[in-house]
Chain A
Amino acid sequence: MKTRESTFWTWHLLAGGIILVVLGIHMAIMHLSKMLGTGGETHEVVQWTLVRMRSIDFAFAFMYVVLLGAALYHGLYGLRTIILELTLPERAEKFVSAVIVLLGFALFILGSYSTIAFYAMNGPMR
């Protein structure tokens, strides 16, 4: 029988798949850059010029927002699972779930706002 929790679990797996691809690309660019020739050493790829260049590229900006959403969902759902496995009282479980959902939305708004606002202020639409 498909329950609400099994749907959340399926999303958790799907988010993991998305993260594997998108974070894999991110890691290759940021941390295997010298070896793969994708930008320079780790301390170079975080220099303002390169950060700005990536942030005003639509593909990167889109990837950041997708990664943000998928990683927040995957990570916070995993945290919720670990906490709820401790078999807390039902009211405490509801409180934990509510805090995690609010935290997730707040961080998604912060992260996506900074990405979209930077793109809008400095990108090709300016």
Chain B
Amino acid sequence: MPENKFLRNNLGLMGWISGGRYGVERYAYALHRLTGLGILLYFLLHIFVTSSRLLGESTWEAVMRALSSPVFKWGEFLVYLAFGYHALNGVRLVMAELGFFLGVPKQPVYPYTHSVKRQRPLLVLVMAVAAVIVLLGGYDFLGFAGR
């Protein structure tokens, strides 16, 4: 949330990936943001593309022909990959935000554990589900299904 007025963000965007000894969750965070920005860019263009149906069948067909090249097809598949990752990782983030899978505060007794470690199985689980969704989508999207 953009509320912190006390500290300058000196690392800027580089802080997403290089600011210390980050755990895997930090890279998941960076990828979440990158995929979010990619999806947003696609979505803004998608609004204009889908709005063209209002201009009638010939305009729609012309727009679809212009977007039917392999470059756009692969681009759309990348957006699908980004969606699969962003959605599943987003579920994990909402769970963590609401306090699920983090455990309760405990005395620091050896072997030490912490909330990030406790939610890690959830990260593995959602990434596995995201991988399945991506594979299914790839199978269908790239035209393998039904061949």
Contacts and interface: CB of A to CB of B under 8 A. Distances in A.
A68 B60 contact: no
B133 to A, nearest CB: 9
Contact of B140 (A19, A33, A80, A114): A33
Nearest to A23: B83
A51 B55 CA distance: 13
Interface residues of B, number: 44
Given A13-B97, A79-B40, A111 B51 contact: yes
B71 interface: no
A3 B1 CA distance: 11
Interface string B5-44: 1011100110000000000000000000100110110011
What's the dominant secondary structure at chain B's contact region?
helix
Given A78-B40, A114-B51, 17 more contacts: A5-B1, A20-B91, A23-B83, A23-B87, A31-B137, A35-B136, A41-B146, A42-B140, A43-B68, A46-B64, A72-B43, A75-B39, A75-B43, A78-B33, A110-B48, A111-B51, A117-B54
Interface of B: 1-5, 7-9, 12-13, 33, 36-37, 39-40, 43-44, 47-48, 50-51, 53-54, 57, 60-61, 64, 68, 76, 80, 83, 87, 90-91, 94, 97, 136-137, 139-141, 143, 145-146
